[in-house]
Amino acid sequence: MRRKIATLALCLLVCCGCAKRQEDLNTITLWHWMTDRQNALEELARRYEAQTGVKVKIDLYAPSDIYSQRIVASAQSQVLPDIYGILDKKEIFASFIQSGFVADLTEEFQKNVGAWEKMLFPKALDVNRFPEGNIYGVKAGIYGVPLDVTNIQMLYNKNLLQKAGIKTPPKTFQEFIAAGLALKRVGIAGLVSGWGEMWMVDCFASNYAFNIMGEEKVMATYRGEVPYTDSDWIKVFDIFKELSKKGILIEGIVTKPNKYAEQDFALGRAAFAFNGSWCVNVYHDMNSDLQYGTMLPPPINENLPMRIWGGAGSSLVVNNASVRKDKAIAFLKWLTEKDQQAYLAIETKNLPANREALESIPPILGEFASAMDLTTHPTIWPSNENGLVIEKFDKGIQSIIIGEKTPEEVAREVQAIKERELQKARP
Amino acid sequence: MAINKYIAERIAKGFSIHLFLILFTLTCLFPLFWMVRSALMSNATVFTDKSLIPKVINFGNFAEAWVEGNFGIYFFNSLLYTTSVVIGIVLIASLAAYAFSRLHFPGRNFFFYMFVAAMMIPLPGSFVPLYRLMIVLGLINTRIGYILCMINVGLSMSILLLKTFFDKLPPDLEDAARIDGCGRLGIWWHVALPLARPAIAVIVIFNSLIVWNEYILAALLLNDKSLMPLQRGLMVFQGAHSVDYPLLMAGLTIAAIPIILIYLAMQKHIVKGLSSGAIVG
Amino acid sequence: MNIKSPCWFRFQDYLKNFSFALPAILIFSVFYIFPFIEIFRLSFYEWNGITPAMRFVDFQNFAELMQDEIWWQSIGHAAYITFIALTFQNVLAFALALACDREIRMKRFYRIVFFIPPVLSEIVVGIIWQWILYAGLQDGQSIGLLNYWLVKSGLPHLVNDWLSDPQTALTCIAIVHSWKGFGWGFIMLLAGLQTIDRQLYEAARVDGASSWKLFTQVIIPMMVPVILVVVILTILGSMQVFVLVLSMVGQGLGYHTEVPVTRILSAMTGTNRFGYACAMGVNFGVILVMVSIAFRWLSNRMKQA
């Protein structure tokens, strides 16, 4: 028996030892986190190999927080793949660039009078662009390639609205509250969203902050010139209080990861959802009969426009230290060409980054596409908030929703952290 | 009359004990049962039909999950990792535990308590230094690298268990072997290891559970899909099919069955191993 | 060296003995000690985890940590989960072990079943329990099984939003954690019970001791060492819980469900404060070691008594 075990141990050791491989100059490696796009990307990689002879290895790491940890660890160890994505704040993106992990693609984009640049949506490129004189001190230029574009809006379930006797989707926040109450009377939950993920809370709040006080005042807050206890910010917090108090939010919204929120909307458990354009694919998989439309989050202030988050859905960057840098850039260029973009749009039901590929998308995605002009995103703002303040802000909103804190209390707490961090940042 | 009363009391007592036990049996088995039951349904009814046995039984989900999730290759990897790590731990830990228990060298206690202390200090942030180290050693994205990491995870507990076991073992047999001319290594292999069988059974089971259910280190240290273990496949599968509950449940069932089988095969050794001295130290 | 002195022999002997422990010590040093030292070192830096430049800040991270209310709150939450695990889970495990230690039918069956929850992976447990505790309705019917049964059994006023109510969320997590963990305690305690000599029971019974007296004066004293092992493993396991928390409530519910490991992870990836996260890790390790040493001391006292 023991001899058997010893033999087995030896065999296993040999088996494991065989796994080593040599570096191959003709193989590009791409790391990503998108479980839903793995098959489509692998198929495209096969086509690319058939066309050019260059092999592309597509490695998927899920879930996305493990992916982010891996990217950070690889960056520190200087073993990033040829192509990868950065799933983090602009500030961290800037750190990657400053540490020399990301290739400057400006020249490539501007070749042939900007042929590549013109092919893609400007909004999608903005996310990857560092303008002249940015606060991060990064050399101006474009550093990433958008694979698709996205924006985050409100969706409404047509059948459920009808059931509650609502003819047209609400245009203002007051109408939205009224619709929510009408739905409640017939036993349907109003709004569902993945507010168990902090960034989605942040996104919703940010939309209304822009609508209530305008971009300039939000930026002034981030710079520390306007306090969070300002009456306009209280109004932002009040929105959550009102939604929660009137019973318009689905039960358990603060602990709902977005995938459960998507399930709720697709199965008709709530009439409105706040979700991004990637949801088209998800809803289609779950319930292909779902009848829904898109709308902007209903504005509260008529004098200022409603802005929604959007831009590049997923962007990829090229490793500056890679010996296969040129090949990697060529592959990304090919990936953003019309045919490949159309294939990706059809297979994964995401909005293509290439404008010419727009013809081939389903109508509901067209609705999303038409709102692209209204999009904004933290990555293109001139100033950004400190991560600790954001955490306090989002967690505070969750506390308002579960009814344990008032908007004023949360505003004071957020402001306290803000002042502490400002103090720290001063030399 | 008195006898009848005595019997009635005994029956009542036995009944209440069984009631108590059966209640907990149900809570233990129910989630498992619910998982299998839901795997047999279709997406249309899975949230509305709450009957215990679904009206329409649909085995197709298992086949679909197996193919969609690519579980075949993950399965092989998980089996390979589990057996390698467990064998590695048994050999390395028993050598070390034997040394800590029977052999003398300076610093013996220091090293032993180092292992004990490690059980208490978690390293939630250790992945970055670990990753850097694996690259320096050239072990990143290799099977052997992952196996060594996992051996380290189970090492402390196994050494502790085995050392307590060896401490209680009477030294007579070893003395006899020494007189017969056995060396240190021979005594370890021919005497100590066979005697430690009950404790080894415990180590095998506990470590199999840890390795089979591990996914964070695997996702961090391995790149190639062909090297990934089953739990990582499950994470990807969950990401891609979080909306299709029956399919997801079928995937979960597939991932849980082998470890339950391993456990069923080994379970009769656990209590024996533990009670023969491994924890009663 | 031709003259083999006794000293040389002794040295050779030590070397051979040491070589037995060498593989374990090597693996351990590489995969545990090195990361440990790195974390310790990084806890004195301010660093976002990416840029090569780090700033040495002395004990600043630790000073901030001492005043970090949320951090201490999260330790409190872990302590609460540990408390439930220690009382509810272990008392239950002991009761079940006592029941299974008797000569009853289906003993082996129970023994198998009670260890099934620990066998399952945390992913599986999280997904299934999330479903059981789900709040919300579909077609006027609760989706979550718990709420559904409460309605069915005529207790609709007890229906709750279990995981999003700060009053119940942490307790639900603690109960699921206990559910997953009680098999460990059960199996160890059962093993301990089986080492007690049956003749002791007989003798006590002949002396006319009641079951309760038997339990408190024979079983408990015999079981003290095993109970201590179970207690210490429960504490270490429960303080470090996090996969279950993430899979049941995500990042939600304000700060009500934060536990130390989720704080460390969010400092690392959410706010990109790597040094601070390492300081948290060091602080957490110190706390756990202190608790373990306290218990060791306590167990020695009890053994002597």
Q: What percent of chain A has pLDDT over 70?
A: 95
Which residues of B fall within a CB distance of 8 Å from A8? 83, 87
Query: Residue A419's pLDDT band (boundaries 50, 70, 90)?
Result: very high
Task: Round to whole Å and give the CA distance between C246 and B211.
Answer: 21
Instruction: Give pLDDT tens digits for A296-350.
Output: 999 999 999 999 998 888 899 999 999 999 999 999 999 999 999 999 988 888 8
Domain presence at residue C273: yes
Which residues of C fall within a CB distance of 8 Å from A253? 164
Task: Round to whole Å and give the CA distance between B75 and B217.
Answer: 17
| Nearest chain C CA: its distance from A355 CA (Å) | 33
Domain presence at residue C1: no
Which residues of A fall within a CB distance of 8 Å from C57? none
CATH assignment, A26-149+312-376: 3.40.190.10
Which residues of A fall within a CB distance of 8 Å from B218? none
Structure tokens at A161: 């609205």
Residues of chain A with CATH 3.40.190.10: 26-149+312-376, 151-309+383-425
pLDDT of residue B97 exceeding 90: yes
- Asked if C39 and B100 come within 8 Å (Cβ–Cβ), the reply is no
CATH number of the domain where residue C124 is located: 1.10.3720.10
Q: What is the pLDDT, as a whole number, of residue C61?
A: 92
Is residue C134 within 8 Å of C143, Cβ to Cβ?
yes
Domain presence at residue C55: no
Q: What are the φ/ψ torsions at residue C5 (nearest 5 degrees)?
A: -75, 160
Q: What is the pLDDT, as a whole number, of residue A13?
A: 59
Q: What is C151-169 written as a DSSP string?
A: HHTT-GGG---TTT-TTTH
Query: Residue A101's pLDDT band (boundaries 50, 70, 90)?
Result: very high
With CA atoms as reference, the chain A residue closest to C60 would be A424
Domain presence at residue C35: no
Provide the CA B118 distance to its chain's centre, in angstroms: 19
The alpha-carbon radius of gyration of chain A (Å, integer) is 24
Q: Mapping DSSP to helix (H, G, I), strand (E, B) and coil, where does residue A56 land?
A: strand
Domain presence at residue C15: no
- Asked if C164 and A396 come within 8 Å (Cβ–Cβ), the reply is no
Domain presence at residue C103: yes
CA distances from B78 to A52, A243, B82 (A): 36, 48, 6
Least confident stretch, A127-131, A187-191, C206-210:
C206-210
Domain limits at C166? 63-304
Is residue A272 within 8 Å of A192, Cβ to Cβ?
yes
Task: Round to whole Å and give the CA distance between C66 and C283.
Answer: 9
pTM (predicted TM-score): 0.88
What class does CATH assign to B71-278? Answer: mainly alpha
- Asked if A387 and C273 come within 8 Å (Cβ–Cβ), the reply is yes
- Which superfamily does A151-309+383-425 belong to? Periplasmic binding protein-like II (3.40.190.10)
Position A113: which residue type? V
- Asked if C136 and A252 come within 8 Å (Cβ–Cβ), the reply is yes
Task: List all residues 6 or more positions away from B259 whose beta carbon is below 8 Å from its beta carbon.
Answer: B208, B209, B212, B213, C119, C120, C121
Structure tokens at A104: 């400057």
Domain presence at residue C297: yes
Query: Which among A142, A78, A153, A87 is positioned nearest to A116, based on CA atoms?
Result: A142
More confident: A23 or A59:
A59
Q: What percent of chain A has pLDDT over 90?
A: 56
Which ipTM score applies to this complex?
0.84
Query: How many domains in chain C?
Result: 1
Q: What is the pLDDT, as a whole number, of residue A19?
A: 46
Q: Which residues of A touch C (CB under 8 A)?
A: 65, 68-69, 72, 75-76, 88-89, 91-92, 95-96, 98-99, 101, 187, 189, 195-198, 250-257, 260, 264, 267-269, 387-388, 390-391, 395-396, 398-399, 402, 404-405
What number is the average pLDDT over the span B204-229?
86
The domain limits of chain B are 2-60, 71-278
- Asked if C166 and A75 come within 8 Å (Cβ–Cβ), the reply is no
Size of interface B-C (CB pairs under 8 A): 234
Q: What is the pLDDT, as a whole number, of residue C65?
A: 92
Query: Which among A13, A79, A421 is positioned nearest to A228, based on CA atoms?
Result: A421
Query: Which among A296, A270, A301, A298 is positioned nearest to A283, based on CA atoms?
Result: A270
Q: Is the dihedral of CA C276, C278, C280, C283 positive or negative?
A: negative
Peptide bond into B170 cis (omega under 30): no
Mean pLDDT of chain B: 84
pLDDT tens, per residue, chain C with 305 residues: 455 677 888 888 888 888 899 999 999 998 888 888 888 898 999 988 788 778 899 899 999 999 999 999 999 999 999 999 999 999 999 999 988 887 777 888 888 888 888 888 888 888 888 888 888 777 777 888 888 888 888 888 888 888 888 889 999 999 999 999 888 889 889 888 888 878 888 888 788 778 788 888 888 888 888 888 888 889 988 998 888 888 888 877 888 899 998 898 888 877 888 889 999 999 998 898 888 888 878 878 876 66
Q: What is the pLDDT, as a whole number, of residue B241?
A: 72
